[in-house]
Chains A and B, each alone.
Chain A
Amino acid sequence: MGVTKEQVESSLTSKLKPSHLEVIDTSGGCGASFAIEIVSEQFQGKRLLERHRVVNAALEDEMKQIHALSIKKAQTPEQWKQQQDAENPKPNA
């Protein structure tokens, strides 16, 4: 039994209370493989390595069965907002 996208989502949701979460199943038939984008208050004041550790820890049980995990984004709500604004600039009033 592998891990489903839903399981990964529910573990991350309950443990990290993300304001944005995207889990993409990237397994190409070789087993459970996921890419994750996550925005959470809990990343505040943490370096990228520590943020990834937080995500890995939240998925401790799932990691035993996950073949590959790619954390594409681990941002604070503030960083996320800044990036969204940069990507979708509002026309100057």
Chain B
Amino acid sequence: FRCFASALTPQLKNTLDKVVTSNKVVLFMKGTKDFPQCGFSNTVVQILNSLNVPFETINILENELLRQALKEYSSWPTFPQLYIEGEFFGGCDITVEAYKNGQLQEQLEKAMCS
């Protein structure tokens, strides 16, 4: 038996809406900020640490349903996924790029001051 139905039920969507707005910066990743289990996730954790912003991490390896639902929620197929003020910011490459050109710092400052 294989189920092709959407993992993103209305209830789960509701929950995710709350989770991504629970903190100004939320990172869905493989592992935790203290123990990242993938190089890409680790890269984003290091960037956020270096910028000294408070952020919440959620380990998607612990919840397969959450993992599938999030892919639909953000229309993004991979992890990590960074959310700033409830809005999807990007994955690892976009975060690295934005960090290099200063847009990430700008966005985070705006978020922290709002």
Contact = CB atoms under 8 A, between A and B. Distances in A.
Interface of A: 48-49, 52-53, 56, 60, 63, 68-72
14 contacts: A48-B90, A48-B94, A49-B90, A49-B94, A52-B90, A52-B91, A53-B75, A56-B76, A56-B77, A63-B78, A68-B40, A69-B77, A70-B92, A72-B93
A68 B78 contact: yes
Contacts, number: 29
| Secondary structure call for the A interface | helix
B106 to A, nearest CB: 14
Contacts of A49: 88-90, 94
B109 interface: no
| Secondary structure call for the B interface | mixed
Interface in B28-49: 40
Nearest to A71: B93
Interface residues of B, number: 14
A72 B98 CA distance: 12
Contacts of A63: 77-78
A85 to B, nearest CB: 19
A53 B94 CA distance: 11
A72 B97 CA distance: 9
